[in-house]
């Protein structure tokens, strides 16, 4: 028996899927990766990764999910009975739990920054003062924990509402607001002063000198993370999409909106950064250390700061709910738990893991492995090992286990739709993606370092 719950409308399904894809990865990570990796050249490579690997994987995961029609475990049990494929669902559940635990840390920070926007926290900000503010907050043993927990409670509240009334309804409200805020911020950023344009040039004029193997790998890893592929999220949501919907078209809509938001986030952030003479390569601190200084120099800076961090909170929330739903769906379907019990249990466990990642910037700072703190270890394990592993297995499953005909049947709704590039996608799923991802993963583990 497949899922009883479904998305009520196509637009709601696309909003939920795009909501999962669009997140901190687009607005926090993409602009700083672009800044660190030489601007436009990185964007071009990123778009190539999206087109040649991202779309086929999205389509593979989406098709598997809808065909199986259940949580990740149930889907593999249905599509590949009496094999070990169900064990793969354990990896996806762990990956989503790990990502959500540290996602909650950063999301908690953004909630805090949103709330302090209206205080005088950023007034007369200098590089030293914002750094002090950031360090004091993130290393405090209580404050970031309270924000992380608050964020997890809000995430759980949405999931408690179920697929239609929780995930779909909230995404349909939050996604349009997110787009509107982003467009307004782009206009603001571009019209600050004559130096804004330098940010645009940086974003759109490729400087190929800075491209190295590292750039390709950074772009590919980011494409995976940003599209939410490789950990069962798209599979779980795919199971909630009705059989008559066109999943090929929906995949495109999700991928295009995700990429558009990443680029628009660059337009909202980098011209403002250039306008006030700041460097674009501040790394992960770009949003928390550089932007508060930008807002401090802008008329109505408190308002713009609030709007910007609100944007981040909304983006984080539509992604975190999808991460939570992977495990919740598993517990509901496989262990026959009630949604409420499953949600509370999962939230408590993930929040407890998240306590360690949050405290990794304060009291637990000294716990390190290979020079990484607990937060970095989680991020590293998820992004460099588990995510690519998941993506590789999904492509392998689509290409070799599910097979061409079943896949075609699912994507074309039983030959009712015509999909021109199907042969190309299938070739990538079967041969190209598993190999490319394996290389990415080995590199992520440092195998090629010397
Ligand atoms: N895609 C989300 C982002 O860009 C992160 C995410 C990853 C969400 C994996 C769900 C699953 O921030």
Ligand 1 centre distance from Cα of residue 23 (Å) = 6
Q: Which of 317 and 277 is assigned the larger pLDDT?
A: 317
pLDDT value at residue 449: 64
CA of 93 to the centre of ligand 1 (A): 14
| Model pLDDT, residue 234 | 97
pLDDT attached to residue 358: 96
Tens of pLDDT, residue by residue over 116-155, are 998 988 888 888 888 899 999 999 999 999 999 999 999 9
The winner for highest mean pLDDT among 67-71, 187-191, 215-219, 374-378 is: 67-71
Identify the residue whose C-alpha is closest to ligand 1 atom 11. 228
Mean pLDDT of 225-241: 95
**pLDDT digits over 53-66, tens only?**
999 999 999 999 99
Which tokens in the block code for residue 149?
């927990």
The average pLDDT across 377-390 equals: 85
Max Cα–Cα distance, the chain, nearest Å: 65
Measure 252 CA to ligand 1 centroid, in angstroms: 17
The tokens for 114 are 């949103």
The mean per-residue pLDDT over the stretch 314-339 comes to: 96
Using the mean position of ligand 1's atoms as its centre, give its distance from the Cα of residue 229 in Å: 8
- Considering only CA atoms, which of 401, 386, 368, 363 is closest in space to residue 444? 386
Mean pLDDT, the chain, as a whole number? 91
CA of 385 to the centre of ligand 1 (A): 16
Question: Is residue 214 pLDDT above 80, yes or no?
Answer: no
Query: If you take atom 9 of ligand 1, which residue's CA is the nearest one?
Result: 228
User: Predicted confidence band at 277 (pLDDT cuts at 50, 70, 90)?
Assistant: confident
Percent of the chain with pLDDT over 70: 98
Residue to mutate (ligand 1; options 16, 46, 91, 228; most atoms within 8 A of CB): 228
Q: Is the pLDDT of residue 2 over 70?
A: no
**More confident call, 72 vs 283:** 72
Report how far ligand 1's centroid is from the alpha carbon of 155 (Å).
Answer: 14
Please state the three-class secondary structure of 226-257 as a single string: HHCCCCCHHHHHHCCCCCCCCHHHHHHHHHHH
What is the residue with the minimal CA distance to atom 6 of ligand 1?
Answer: 228
pLDDT at 140: 94
Q: Model's pTM, two decimal places?
A: 0.93
Asked if 318 and 170 touch (Cβ cutoff 8 Å), the reply is yes
At 56, give phi and psi (nearest 5°). Answer: -60, -40
> How far is the C-alpha of 229 from the C-alpha of 223, rounded, in Å?
9
Q: Which residues are within 8 A (CB) of 250 and not within 5 positions of it... i.e. 6 or more apart?
A: 10, 13, 14, 17, 62, 241
Probe residue for ligand 1, chosen from 23, 171, 312, 320 as the CB with the greatest number of ligand atoms within 8 Å: 23
Query: Which residue's C-alpha comes closest to atom 7 of ligand 1?
Result: 228
pLDDT digits 0-9 by tens, 249-261: 999 999 999 999 9
**Of residues 383 and 302, more confidently modeled:** 302
Determine the distance separating the centroid of ligand 1 and the alpha carbon of 227, expressed in angstroms.
6
Write the pLDDT tens digit of every residue in 385-417. 888 889 999 999 999 999 999 999 999 999 999
Residue range 327-376, pLDDT digits in tens = 999 999 999 999 999 999 999 999 999 999 999 999 999 998 888 899 98
Residue 406: closest CA among 58, 66, 31, 13: 66
Ligand 1 site residues, Cβ closer than 6 angstroms = 20-21, 23-26, 99, 225-226, 228, 231, 233, 319, 322-323
Residues 6+ positions from 346 with CB-CB distance below 8 Å: 97, 324, 327, 328, 331
- Ligand 1: atom nearest CA of 316 is 12
Is residue 438 very low, low, confident or very high in pLDDT (cuts 50, 70, 90)?
confident
What integer pLDDT is reported at residue 197 of this predicted model? Answer: 94
**Separation of 450 CA from ligand 1 center, angstroms?**
31
pLDDT in tens, 92-117: 999 999 999 999 999 999 999 999 99
- pLDDT level of residue 444 (50, 70, 90 thresholds): low
Atom of ligand 1 nearest to the CA of 28: 12
């Amino acid at each position: 028996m497949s899922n009883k719950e479904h998305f009520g409308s196509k637009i709601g399904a696309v909003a939920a899927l795009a909501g999962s894809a669009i997140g901190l990865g687009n607005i926090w990570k993409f602009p700083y990766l672009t800044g660190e990796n030489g601007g436009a050249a990185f964007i071009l490579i990123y778009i190539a990764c999206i087109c040649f690997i991202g779309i086929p994987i999205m389509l593979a995961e989406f098709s598997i999910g809808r065909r199986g029609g259940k949580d990740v475990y149930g889907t593999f049990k249905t599509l590949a009975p009496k094999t070990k494929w169900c064990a793969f669902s354990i990896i996806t559940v762990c990956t989503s739990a790990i990502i959500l635990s540290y996602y909650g840390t950063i999301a908690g920070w953004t909630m805090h920054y949103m709330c302090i926007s209206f205080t005088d926290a950023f007034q007369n900000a200098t590089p030293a003062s914002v750094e002090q503010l950031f360090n004091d907050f993130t290393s405090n043993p209580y404050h970031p924990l309270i924000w992380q927990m608050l964020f997890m409670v809000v995430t759980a509240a949405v999931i408690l509402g179920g697929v239609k009334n929780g995930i779909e309804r909230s995404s349909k409200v939050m996604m349009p607001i997110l787009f509107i805020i982003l467009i307004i911020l782009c206009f603001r950023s571009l019209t600050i002063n004559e130096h804004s344009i330098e940010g645009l040039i940086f974003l759109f004029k490729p400087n190929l000198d800075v491209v190295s193997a590292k750039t390709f790998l950074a772009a590919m890893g980011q494409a995976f993370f940003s599209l939410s592929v490789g950990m069962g999220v798209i599979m779980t949501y795919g199971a909630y999409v009705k059989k008559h919907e066109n999943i090929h078209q929906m995949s495109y809509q999700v991928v295009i909106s995700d990429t558009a938001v990443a680029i628009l986030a660059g337009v909202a952030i980098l011209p403002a950064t250039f306008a006030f003479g700041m460097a674009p390569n501040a790394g992960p601190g770009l949003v928390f250390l550089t932007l508060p200084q930008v807002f401090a120099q802008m008329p109505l800076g408190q308002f713009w700061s609030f709007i910007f961090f609100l944007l981040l909170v909304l983006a984080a929330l539509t992604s975190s709910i999808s991460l939570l739903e992977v495990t919740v769906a598993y517990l509901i379907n496989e262990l026959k738990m009630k949604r409420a019990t499953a949600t509370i249990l999962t939230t408590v466990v993930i929040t407890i893991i998240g306590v360690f990642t949050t405290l990794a910037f304060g009291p637990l700072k000294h716990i390190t492995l290979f020079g990484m703190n607990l937060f970095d270890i989680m991020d590293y394990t998820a992004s460099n090992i588990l995510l690519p592993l998941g993506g590789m297995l999904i492509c392998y499953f689509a290409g070799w286990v599910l097979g061409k005909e079943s896949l075609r049947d699912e994507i074309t709704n039983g030959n009712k739709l015509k999909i021109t590039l199907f042969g190309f996608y299938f070739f990538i799923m079967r041969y190209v993606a598993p190999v490319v991802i394996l290389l990415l993963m080995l590199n992520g583990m440092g195998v090629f370092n010397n």
